């Protein structure tokens, strides 16, 4: 991922912008160094085994990420700016909203590539020096970098195998799915192959899905849900997931799924945030 610019937002307000390629003398903030943008402490966590091969399945997770930025202050003296004013501007962004969430957005020229959310947990400043600097530490509980906007997939295969390609991401991730049943079906199943699947995701409601039912589900971490909308009446179905089921996820590159009941529904869309281990 080629990065040319970084922007810092708090409460949807841009507080700082750094150019990494085209630094100008008029830039108020100059990035001196950044650490914490790579992938450290990746931990494999076992969550299941293949039904036939018995191969162990692992989810790879990261501990919360700290990003440390050393920033040079460059006041525009012709506009009567001072070092103190630039420092105070950064202080104000520490908690510019009730959530205190800071967004670091990464660009390649004018194209927004990814962002990561966190909070400022440390602010260190040098005083009474010829070239004052500040050092800020951002703590990110969700350590993956995500696309700024959701990627939306429509026009998905109406026959098996279902192919969903993600050529942007470098890390696996969940997705949000919306589909409409027509005709009815007693169950909904996603699996990896047509026969002898290694994993399955099976939902069997107390009564069958009827024509017009809209099924929504998300396999995104920290945002998993499963419910059906029947004529504007919502029924949650997480307790109807068959024991041993594994939530479907998308890996970087091409993903192939088999859905036995594919003739009983129409795809509305699949959407997700592209995900990256680092930049």
Confidence (pLDDT) at 21: 86
Does residue 95 surpass a pLDDT of 90? Answer: no
pLDDT of residue 274 exceeding 90: yes
The chain-wide mean pLDDT, for the chain, equals 92
How far are the Cα atoms of 54, 202, 277 from residue 240, in angstroms, in the given order? 25, 8, 33
- DSSP letter string over 115-132? EEEEEEEEEEE--SSSS-
User: Where does the pLDDT of residue 231 fall: very low under 50, low under 70, confident under 90, or very high at 90 and above?
Assistant: very high
Q: For the segment 151-183, what is each residue's pLDDT rounded down to a tens digit?
A: 999 889 889 999 999 999 999 999 999 999 999
Q: Is the pLDDT of residue 197 over 90?
A: yes
Q: 129 burial class (0-12, 13-18, 19+ CB within 10 angstroms)?
A: exposed
How many Å apart are CA 140 and CA 107, to the nearest integer?
19
Q: Residue 230: what pLDDT?
A: 95
Above 90 in pLDDT, residue 269?
A: yes
Stretch 246-257: mean pLDDT, rounded?
Answer: 95
In this prediction, residue 159 carries a pLDDT of 93
Mean pLDDT of 35-62: 92
Whether the pLDDT of residue 101 is over 90: the answer is yes
Residue 124 burial (CB count, 10 A): 11
- What is the model's pLDDT at position 152? 95
- CA distances to 130, 135, 186 from 126, rounded to whole Å, are 10, 9, 67
- End-to-end CA separation in angstroms for the chain: 6
**Which three-class secondary structure state does DSSP give residue 3?**
coil
- Residue 23: predicted pLDDT: 85
Confidence grade of residue 12 (pLDDT, cut at 50, 70, 90):
confident
**Would you say the pTM of this structure is higher than 0.85?**
yes
Residue 208 and residue 181 in contact, taking contact as beta carbons nearer than 8 Å = no
Could you report the per-residue pLDDT of 50-93, keeping only the tens digit for each? 999 999 999 998 999 999 999 999 998 888 889 999 999 889 88
Phi, psi of 64 (to 5 degrees): -50, 140
For 28, residues 6+ apart whose C-beta sits below 8 A from its C-beta are 16, 73, 74, 75, 76, 81, 86
Counting residues of the chain whose pLDDT is more than 70, the rounded percentage is 100
pLDDT of residue 58: 93
């Amino acid at each position: 991922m080629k990065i040319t610019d970084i922007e810092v937002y708090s409460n949807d307000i841009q507080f700082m912008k750094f150019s990494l390629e085209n630094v100008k003398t008029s830039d108020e903030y100059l990035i001196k160094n950044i650490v914490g943008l790579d992938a450290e402490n990746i931990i494999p966590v076992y969550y299941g085994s293949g039904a036939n091969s018995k191969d162990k399945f692992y989810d790879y997770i990261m501990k919360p990420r700290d990003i440390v930025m050393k920033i040079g202050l460059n006041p525009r003296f012709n506009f009567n700016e001072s070092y103190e004013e630039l420092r105070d501007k950064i202080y104000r962004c520490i908690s510019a909203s009730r959530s205190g969430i800071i967004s670091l957005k990464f660009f390649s020229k004018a194209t927004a590539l990814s962002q990561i959310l966190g909070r400022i947990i440390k602010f260190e400043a040098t005083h009474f020096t010829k070239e004052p600097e500040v050092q800020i530490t951002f703590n990110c509980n969700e350590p993956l970098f995500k696309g700024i906007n959701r990627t939306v997939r429509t026009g998905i295969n109406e026959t098996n195998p279902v192919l969903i390609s993600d050529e942007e991401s470098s890390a696996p991730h969940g997705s949000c799915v919306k589909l409409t049943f027509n005709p009815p079906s007693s169950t909904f199943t996603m699996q990896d192959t047509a026969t002898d699947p290694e994993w399955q995701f099976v939902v069997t409601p107390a009564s069958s899905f009827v024509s017009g039912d809209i099924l929504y589900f998300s396999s995104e971490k920290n945002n998993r849900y499963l419910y059906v909308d029947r004529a504007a009446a919502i029924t949650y179905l997480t307790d109807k997931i068959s024991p041993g089921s594994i939530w479907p996820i998308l890996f970087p590159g091409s993903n192939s799924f088999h859905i036995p009941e594919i003739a009983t529904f129409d795809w509305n869309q699949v959407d997700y945030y592209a995900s990256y281990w680092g930049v």
